[in-house]
């Protein structure tokens, strides 16, 4: 189980993590929460039904990582498609941000609930719902880090340059995190497949 998720009998997943891995995962999830933003709090006494229909932004985020997490729905080839994308974003981005925040909070809360063993590590056991939240956050973290590193498909392949970065390259720690998150994500996907 060390280093990869395994299916549990109840439909969830489990993984053994050492204290450094726990700290890294927690730190990355908190940074993702900060990137996504706090969200809109309903005004005191506001009609809950009205809050459901609050419109979001119509323009894509300026930050490339956020633009990757909240991409255009239809591209930007012509004015009509840009207008359709803006309309789609206006009615979906707030909900998508909320889901991404909830998933990242699931990661932070499940890591905070761990009881370390004598070696400082612990076994993280997730329910099926928590596993789906973790999967969403692992994907979001990889998209964010990959965007920041400007990773291309060629670099990511097993023969790609990401695997051959010299230790002196300042990107090396983030590349290692990116690759590790990919391995975690892959094994978690395998546990969720019937």
Q: Within 13 Å and on the Cβ side, how many CA atoms surround 32?
A: 31
With a CB cutoff of 8 Å and minimum separation 6, the contacts of 43 are: none
The band of 117, judged by pLDDT with boundaries at 50, 70 and 90, is: confident
Whether 1 has a pLDDT exceeding 50, the answer reads no
pTM to 2 decimals?
0.86
How many angstroms separate the CA atoms of 116 and 28, rounded?
Answer: 19
Q: Give mean pLDDT, residues 55-60.
A: 82
Q: Within 13 Å and on the Cβ side, how many CA atoms surround 12?
A: 12
Q: Tens digits of per-residue pLDDT, 71-105?
A: 988 876 788 888 888 889 888 899 999 999 999 99
- Find out whether 112 and 136 touch, Cβ atoms under 8 Å: no
- Find out whether 60 and 165 touch, Cβ atoms under 8 Å: no
The band of 179, judged by pLDDT with boundaries at 50, 70 and 90, is: very high
Pick from 38-52, 142-156, 168-182: least confident: 38-52
Domain boundaries, the chain: 6-38+54-192
């Amino acid at each position: 189980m060390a280093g990869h998720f395994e299916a549990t009998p109840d439909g969830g997943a489990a993984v053994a993590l050492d204290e450094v891995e726990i700290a890294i995962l927690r730190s990355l999830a908190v940074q993702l929460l900060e990137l996504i933003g706090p969200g809109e709090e309903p005004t005191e006494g506001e009609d809950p039904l009205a809050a459901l229909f609050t419109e979001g932004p119509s323009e894509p985020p300026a930050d490339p990582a956020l633009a990757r997490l909240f991409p255009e729905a239809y591209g930007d080839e012509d004015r009509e498609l840009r207008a359709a994308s803006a309309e789609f974003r206006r009615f979906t981005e707030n909900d998508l941000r909320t889901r991404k925040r909830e998933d990242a909070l699931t990661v932070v809360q499940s890591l905070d609930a761990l009881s370390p063993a004598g070696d400082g590590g612990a076994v993280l056991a997730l329910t099926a719902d928590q596993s789906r939240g973790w999967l969403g956050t692992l994907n979001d973290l990889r998209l964010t880090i990959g965007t920041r590193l400007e990773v291309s498909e060629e670099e990511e392949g097993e023969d790609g340059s990401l695997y051959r970065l010299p230790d002196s390259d300042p990107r090396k720690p983030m590349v290692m995190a990116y690759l590790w998150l990919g391995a975690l994500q892959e094994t978690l996907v395998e546990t969720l497949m019937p």
